[in-house]
């Protein structure tokens, strides 16, 4: 018998249950996901988030998908940490464009303590503009997580990226366990967790089952779950592999299935349709919204890769009759659990 938490979520999903969801007839799966979505969220609303790379390239990690790794020959130029004023200018533009959350990403294995004062100023400055703040800076020590929490950071993004079994084939410079440790430090500091991964890296269905299983069985579900479709970048291990085997690209229906299973297993979480929308048809994106995705990255750039741009997104949302989420999310898992 499944054990329900007081907020109605479950952390005891089995792999067999998650595999059975993936195996459902497509329309049954999407219908179920849409029901779960409507029970917990305003189905006609999508959260708009904006990304800024505050420190680009030159990263010592060897993530096989990433243009910013020193192991990749992607042509991305390494930069220093941006200055606080420039970051706040970007944030002000994002706010004017209607963004609800400003996400700042750095190509680091981990932040150095000497970088923290500037990072803290960025969090405080963006918060003062009335936007939610998110940062993704790599691995954190407990004292660093606490410093970010004290600055008022709302979310920390740290992805598990794929199944525990596949992890070591994609990244060798850190372990799946180290990822979980940082997530624990973020939780312990009281910051909301944003954690998801990438599909379309040539993984199997079983890996996608293992990926959703790992997220849905965390002690508390991440408040945000980004589902990225691999953006194949020339010069990265996975980008080059996919260029040689085009059939390895994730099938649109399988991508929607992954979103739907994430929605059903983590009903209160925001499921973010993240990287890869530039090459995704409007019909596939509409199916993702039907299957419970309720957040996107706006603007014409992610960190280094292109994004659809505000005009194309405004047209799509208008066509679908979907509106931008304003103010607080309907319910946060961390609040509901208390």
Q: Which two tokens stand for residue 86?
A: 């420039």
Q: Is position 66 an interface residue for ligand SF4 (rule: CB under 6 A)? A: yes
Q: By CB under 6 A, what part of segment 74-133 binds ligand SF4?
A: 107
- Are residues 193 and 223 in contact, defined by beta-carbon separation less than 8 angstroms? yes
DSSP string for residues in 240-300: HHHHH-GGGSPPHHHHHHHHHHHHHHSTTSEEEE-TTGGGS-HHHHHHHHHTT--EEEESS
Chain mean position to CA 23? 24
Choosing among ligand DTB, ligand SAM, ligand SF4, none, which partner's interface includes residue 186 (Cβ < 5 to 8 Å by kind)? none
Among 9, 37, 54, 105, binds ligand DTB (CB under 6 A): 105
Sequence-ordered alpha helix ranges (H) in 24-69: 26-40
245 contact partners, CB below 8 Å, separation of at least 6 = 202
Q: How many residues does the chain have?
A: 338
- Contact flag: residue 99 with ligand DTB (CB under 6 A): no
From 32, 49, 101, 103, the catalytic residue:
103
Q: How far is the CB of 279 from ligand DTB (least distance, A)?
A: 12
Q: Is 309 left (phi over 0), alpha (psi -120 to 50) or beta?
A: left
Of 111 and 222, CB closest to ligand SF4: 111
d(CA 187, CA 220): 9
Site for ligand SF4 contains 53 (CB under 6 A)? no
Closest distance of CB 235 from ligand SAM, Å: 11
Count residues contacting ligand DTB (CB under 6 A)?
17
Indicate which single residue of 21, 29, 49, 61 sits in contact with ligand SF4 (rule: CB under 6 A).
Answer: 61
For the CB of residue 23, give the shortest distance to ligand SAM in the complex, in Å. 26
The nearest distance, CB 88 to ligand SAM, in angstroms, is 20
Active site residue 49: no
Residue 69's binding partner out of ligand SF4, ligand SAM, ligand DTB, none, with CB under 5 to 8 Å set by partner kind: ligand SF4
User: Contact region for ligand DTB (CB under 6 A) — 140-148, 225-233, 235-243, 323-331?
Assistant: 225-233
CB 284 within 8 A of CB 252: yes
Does residue 303 belong to the site contacting ligand DTB (CB under 6 A)?
yes
Residues 6+ apart with CB under 8 A from 75: 235
For binding to ligand SAM (CB under 6 A), which residues are involved?
A: 65-66, 105, 107-108, 136, 138, 158-159, 161, 197-198, 228, 230-231, 233, 275, 303
The catalytic residues are 59, 63, 66, 103, 134, 194, 272
């Amino acid at each position: 018998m499944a054990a329900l938490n007081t907020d109605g979520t479950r952390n005891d999903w089995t792999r067999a249950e998650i595999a059975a969801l993936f195996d459902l007839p497509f329309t049954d799966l999407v219908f179920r996901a849409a029901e779960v979505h409507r029970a917990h969220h305003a189905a006609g609303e999508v959260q708009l988030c904006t990304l800024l790379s505050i420190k680009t390239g030159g990263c010592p990690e060897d993530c096989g998908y990433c243009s910013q790794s020193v192991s990749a020959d992607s042509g991305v130029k390494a930069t220093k940490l941006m200055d606080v004023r420039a970051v706040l200018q970007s944030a002000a533009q994002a706010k004017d464009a209607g963004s609800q959350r400003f996400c700042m990403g750095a190509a680091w294995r981990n932040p150095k303590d000497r970088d923290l004062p500037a990072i803290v100023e960025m969090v405080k400055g963006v918060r003062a503009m009335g936007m939610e703040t998110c940062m993704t800076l790599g691995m954190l020590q407990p004292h660093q997580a606490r410093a970010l929490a004290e600055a008022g950071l709302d979310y920390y993004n740290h992805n598990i990226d794929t199944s525990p079994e596949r992890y070591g084939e994609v990244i060798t410079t850190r372990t799946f366990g180290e990822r979980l440790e940082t997530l624990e430090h973020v939780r312990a500091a009281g910051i909301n967790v944003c954690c998801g991964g990438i599909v379309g890296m040539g993984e199997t269905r079983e890996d996608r089952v293992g990926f959703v299983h790992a997220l849905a069985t965390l002690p508390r579900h991440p408040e945000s779950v980004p589902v990225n479709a691999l953006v194949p970048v020339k010069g990265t291990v996975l980008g080059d592999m996919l260029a040689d085997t085009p059939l390895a690209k994730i099938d649109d229906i399988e991508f929607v299935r992954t979103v739907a299973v994430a929605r059903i297993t983590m009903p209160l979480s925001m499921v973010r349709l993240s990287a890869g929308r530039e090459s995704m048809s409007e019909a596939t994106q509409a199916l993702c919204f039907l299957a419970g995705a309720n957040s996107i990255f706006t603007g014409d750039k992610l960190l280094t890769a292109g994004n659809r741009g505000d005009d194309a997104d405004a047209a799509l949302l208008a066509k679908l009759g979907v509106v931008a989420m304003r103010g607080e999310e309907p319910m946060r898992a961390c609040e509901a659990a208390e």
